[in-house]
Amino acid sequence: MIELALAFLIFGGFGLVMISLNRILGPRRTNPAKERPFECGSPPLQEGIPRPSVPYVLVAFVFLVFDVAVAFLFPWALAARALGRAGLLGLAAGLAIPAAGLVYARRKGFLRWE
């Protein structure tokens, strides 16, 4: 525990020293061209970031649900033999929930692109 606190103290202090040295030794000139927004070598085409379309967000949520479900499959796969039939039933119950969500999303038309 002491080692962790000491590491935070040392690296936090190092960060503060570097930021302070940048303030003290760094250049103080300002350039209005450098303060404007920049997009890949050309002036910005619009103000701010546009909102994503609703179908994109819905598909992203469906993807997130299955991404989390797959993340929980890895520990199960490592212990599948030791868990036996009860583990298989637990896996089926755990996958039934995202599958029901996929069926719901499909019936509501969330996965249709226009």
Half-sphere exposure of 50 (CA within 13 A, CB side): 7
The C-alpha torsion from 4 through 5 and 11 to 14, rounded to 10°, is -160
Q: In this predicted model, what pLDDT tens digit does every residue of 29-45 receive, in sequence order?
A: 888 877 776 667 666 66
Each residue's pLDDT tens digit, 33-81:
777 766 676 666 666 677 777 777 888 888 888 888 888 888 888 888 8
Q: Where are the domains of the chain?
A: 2-30+52-108
Q: Does the domain made of 2-30+52-108 have the CATH classification 1.20.58?
A: yes
- d(Cα 5, Cα 13) in Å, to the nearest integer? 12
The predicted structure's pLDDT at residue 29: 80
Quote the radius of gyration of the chain (alpha carbons, Å). 26
pTM recorded for the entire structure: 0.46
